[in-house]
Structure 1
Amino acid sequence: MTLNRTEKLGYAFLAIIFIYSLYLGFTNPEYFNNTFTAEDHTVEWGTAIMLLCISLLCLFRLFTISKGKSTTWKIGVFLFAILFFFGAGEEISWGQRIFGIESSEYFIANNAQGETNLHNLVVGGKKVNKIIFSQLLMVAMVIYLIVVPILYKKMAWVKNLADSFAVPVVKWHQTIAFIVSTILVAVIPPDRKWEVYEFAFGVIFFLIFLYPLNGFIFEKEYVKNVE
């Protein structure tokens, strides 16, 4: 398992974040909850920036190396750009606190935090965040991080599907990084520790999109074999 310089820096950065988070979590939980991981503070902004970086990376690829590539490749890259842009916007409630925008009556009445975002909506007495962004996302993550890499190497149709739609396949050290992150976050005592997990999610996914197992799909020469 060989890591390039960027990957080493990324993991070193993650290590620093977790060391600091663990330190604050055990020594100053009030500061951890009310400042470090609070709305519009360090961790939340870090997550939003990482998600936005992934979106911009996808758009950069779409506008610079898509010439001659298949329609499915372009669709895949475009959808990922939209997905992570949506995630970044949701993370900071689309900038409403930054610009002082009041939530509409609908969001005030149906959003757990009275904010303009979808992940905190309450439907039928249940938070969308818990149903979709926690439970379903966790299942999807397990499939993506563990099942897909195995099937990608063993089943041709899975490989062809992933490559055709420009789906970055994770390397095992990236999967391990997620598992270690999950364990470390579980150890942190304060309630808002999952904000740190989201930040780690953003950093690791940025590394996945930069250096996936099937990185050749983002090379100009790959195009000819995709149609």
Structure 2
Amino acid sequence: MNKTSSHELPAWLWLWLVPVLLIVQLIVRAISPEFANTHFSGELGIVENITVVILIPAIFLSLYLVANRRYLPARWMPFWYGMLGLACLYFAGEEASWGQHWFGWETPEGFKALNDQGETNFHNMSSWLDQKPRLIVELSAIIGGVILPIIRKRRGIVYPEGSWQALFWPTWICLPVSLFIGLIKLPDRLIGGQNIPYPFNLRVSETQEAYVAMAFFLYFASVAIRVYRQKKG
């Protein structure tokens, strides 16, 4: 069995490509601080837009899984993947303020009065729509994407092919991106962002969001490739 089939996806996608986003930012910030400040950060920055770009195929992969629900081992699984797909749609829409960042319309007065950044989105209206969901995602990545795969590996647990457990739980390929999600804010929390020297004091929230988008994509792609292989017999 080759590495691609044993890990569902090629290693360059789930292992080697994952750190590139962080490494490129650090290199560009070290070489050209002005370019990095202009083009990487902010609502129209590269990192913010990469997040939306990654979420688009993730949404289509969730639709693929729902459309091929007869190949899923449990009746509730299409609803699970559909719910996550809707979460990705919401995530992408909120990141782009539902198109406001690209098309530049004025924020409706109702949103402006409630939104602490005056934008057309919901996550800047309440911590229940921003910080708390972010914390849930972090914990889910650490537990489901890091701790459980390691436990299964150490105990030699292998779910039967085609079982709901095999398709529901993140596999080993989600571990690298989950590590980045769980650890990227750790320096800020331990010593404070103001104490981190340049070029390492980047806006980690934006980068973390991009890694969350990657995690959704890799999770869906992992399941979709196995469903596709099952279809082909």
TM-score by length of 1: 0.72
Query: What is the aligned partner in structure 2 of residue 77 from structure 1?
Result: 81
SS in 2 for 1:219: helix
Contact map agreement 1:55 1:82 (CA 8 A) in 2: yes
Counterpart-to-counterpart distance in 1, 2:133 and 2:69: 31
Contact map agreement 1:37 1:193 (CA 8 A) in 2: no
The answer to whether structure 1 residue 35 and structure 2 residue 39 are counterparts is yes
The answer to whether structure 1 residue 199 and structure 2 residue 203 are counterparts is no
CA RMSD of aligned residues (A): 3.8
Query: What is the aligned partner in structure 2 of residue 133 from structure 1?
Result: 133
Counterpart-to-counterpart distance in 2, 1:40 and 1:78: 29
% identity of equivalent residues: 24
Unaligned runs of 5+ in 1: 223-227
Query: Structure 1's 83 and 183: CA in aligned 2 closer, same or farther, altered over 3 A?
Result: closer
The alpha-carbon deviation at position 56 of structure 1 amounts to 0.6
SS in 2 for 1:71: coil
Contact map agreement 1:18 1:184 (CA 8 A) in 2: no
For 1:219, give the aligned amino acid.
Q
Deviations 1:161-183 (A, max 9, x none): x927x964222352234325655
Deviations 1:30-67 (A, max 9, x none): 4334321221231111111111211111112222x224
Counterpart-to-counterpart distance in 2, 1:88 and 1:167: 24
For 2:171, give the aligned amino acid.
K
Equivalent runs, 1:19-58 vs 2, <5 Å: 19-58=23-62
Deviations 1:63-102 (A, max 9, x none): 2x22475531221222122111111111111112323332
For 1:98, give the aligned amino acid.
W
Counterpart-to-counterpart distance in 1, 2:40 and 2:52: 15
2:105 pairs with one of 94, 101, 106: 101
Query: What is the aligned partner in structure 1 of residue 143 from structure 2?
Result: 143
The alpha-carbon deviation at position 12 of structure 1 amounts to 3.1
TM-score by length of 2: 0.71
1:115 pairs with one of 114, 119, 122: 119
For 1:66, give the aligned amino acid.
R
Count of matched residue pairs: 212
The alpha-carbon deviation at position 152 of structure 1 amounts to 7.4
Query: What is the aligned partner in structure 2 of residue 225 from structure 1?
Result: none
1:190 pairs with one of 191, 201, 205: 201
